Chain A
């Protein structure tokens, strides 16, 4: 074992590989930070050119790129309210209000620290506890996943909406939009209007870019972009406005730790992914906070939580890949290609046949987490400079980047049209105070819930008792019900406390609808 490790170290810890990891993180955080462009696109585009490189260099760079982009997205989310990556949508909820208060520096640094802690946590898990975690992940079949997704949906439904009812409408709209395309079970066409492009469904990234970035440009135009400049650059009189105090970090450690566990869990389960992780992380921070009312208005923990969670997905997303040959997350699936092209067939034999390469990779991953503390720093400065540029110069560039970003991932022109459509839709959603973030997360979770429910029912032969007889499924079903009850009780208490101008019939009406 020791020999393996030392061989691995000598193979992995070369200047060239360090450079690969650093380059990956740099490219990832740069592309992640640019609204419109993103890391998934970067990885998909970089993969072919890495085919000729050495495996460790290539994989370290790709994973670095993935991690970097997950962090980088938070920069544009915090500074511009235009999340550069889907994972950062939750970060914008509290990050942008902090920027408006002149505390952009604080938010950016908290996002960085939380990201690094989350990443280190999950890489350590990957290195020391892969087999048991992979075994745990396998226990989640369709029935368990259906209930887990249902739980997630209940918990995050309506995140970022002004009222509960609008949150629920946003959520339902997201699920409805996700049904466009081929039916996942019968492969019959739904809402495709005779277009083959719609057969593949609405592209997540194209939709996201429109919904979160292009719409934000339109909204900021309306809100007075000439002044937006002045408004954003409010000078805070807080001396700690651009740094994270020790007390704040200590206060957030609990949140960060819980988010890291949640993120690792989501990463290890095939297909659950970092966006879900980020929203669930955000939600647990809000629920367990002593001041849930501060969330959405610039709560620093609301930045730490989603960032720790979405970065924790990366390392853990590789767990099922290296132990079972099953990628845990979207980007991990693409990175699997880099393993394959170098003759490293992912799966249980990987550790047996190539232990040195794999342990070398683990070492590089953990090291690269520490690179992440340093490499994005200049980007932060650059980002803070960019938001001081008058919006008139910034917006045309952002809009052009949206088009290229939407096109780039699949090199599909149809995605650009989708992006523009959702840009307009997102504008109206924001105007009507519906939540694009809630729509997005429902768009991701909704179809998963549908598929797993229907698969589970196929397995059981149409018998719904499968959801209570399987212990893990029953657990998550109970959690989902518990979350609904808790939210309802809490709402009622809050309303009583507010000595409602509200008519008494409403809480019950809403409560019923949640179920």
Chain B
């Protein structure tokens, strides 16, 4: 009796296992795994899920979103790099996980060999911000203040080696500012420290503090992204202030190396449609997120250039470099 039952059970399991989707038919013939490299509820996660619903429509296959947060986004990216390049595992990616972190510490993937950029879907928008009740109304006033009080002013970032840290440090270096860097773990604690007056200025994504900016609790002094922001159209960008660089990081979609070109093209087209979809734009707009499509090749070239550029600067900015 016992053995018979076991045989039947095993047979059932095998039958279940074999009755999967067949290989025949065009890509995609089964659901695609989308690994989000930040935690559920964050900006990247929200944007990815909003877009994936539209991309699903175009691809005619479900995108299954999974969160693999941790270690500055490298954990999720390494999971993608490790996967088979068949087009059924893709992930979200941030600029530092590819262009900066691999130069600071060991990661188990080669950023430009093990991964292909499918496309960039959304620029993260960054700015330098101070408290709403602080005396500095403009960037110049703030720089003046730092120069008059060398070694007293503190700036916060979301962690060592993030673009928030590196860009701010580079600004300080070019202007000859003597100020102190305080790394926080993530934008939430950084913003709390600013609002509580424990640090003087922070570099953070603007979307995450939109509500506080509108309420006047936080003042944006300098936009560190390339273009002016819809949220604060009057605030100048770094370019306006004569800097030759800015804080460029896109949320992009990556696939493991070896993914067939046909699959990459289809995925890219699906996300292009999602970025340009009115519903997606409106839903993202409520959160001050602004999707913008960029072809994978173009973004990849940009990343390689950023990688060399920042790599050369890291030691000067006081960041320990891996080997």
Contact = CB atoms under 8 A, between A and B. Distances in A.
Interface of A: 44, 47-48, 51, 137-143, 181-182, 184-189, 194, 196-197, 199-201, 270-271, 320, 324-327, 333-338, 340-341, 343, 345-350, 352, 410-412, 451, 455, 458-459, 461
Nearest to B105: A189
Interface in B94-119: 104-108
Interface string B57-90: 0000000011111111011001000000000000
B211 A345 contact: yes
Complex A-B, nearest 4 residue pairs according to Cβ-Cβ distance, in ascending order: A347-B211, A337-B41, A141-B198, A200-B70
B241 interface: no
Contact of A271 (B41, B161, B189, B191): B189
Contact of B72 (A141, A187, A201, A340): A187
B154 interface: yes
Interface in B276-296: 283, 286-288
B212 A347 contact: yes
Contact of A326 (B40, B191, B288): B191
A25 to B, nearest CB: 21
Given A139-B196, A347-B215, A48 B320 contact: no
25 contacts: A47-B40, A137-B192, A138-B196, A139-B196, A182-B72, A185-B183, A187-B104, A188-B105, A189-B105, A194-B106, A196-B74, A199-B71, A200-B69, A200-B70, A270-B188, A324-B217, A325-B191, A337-B46, A341-B50, A343-B283, A345-B286, A348-B211, A410-B67, A410-B69, A459-B182
Contact of B195 (A143, A324, A341, A455): A324
Contacts of A324: 191-192, 195, 212, 217
Interface string B209-224: 1111011010000000
B25 interface: no
B125 interface: no
Nearest to B35: A411
A142 B193 contact: yes
Given A326-B191, A340-B46, A458-B181, A199 B70 contact: yes
Contact of B287 (A51, A343, A352): A343
Contacts of B72: 182, 187
Given A410-B67, A459-B154, A184 B185 contact: yes
Contacts of A327: 188
Contacts of B108: 194, 196
B40 A459 contact: no
Given A51-B49, A138-B196, A141-B197, A326 B41 contact: no
A413 to B, nearest CB: 10
B31 interface: no
B158 to A, nearest CB: 11
B74 A199 contact: yes
B188 A333 contact: yes
Given A326-B195, A340-B41, A459-B154, 19 more contacts: A44-B39, A44-B67, A139-B196, A141-B199, A142-B193, A182-B72, A186-B320, A200-B69, A271-B189, A325-B208, A333-B41, A334-B41, A335-B41, A345-B210, A347-B210, A348-B215, A348-B217, A410-B69, A412-B68
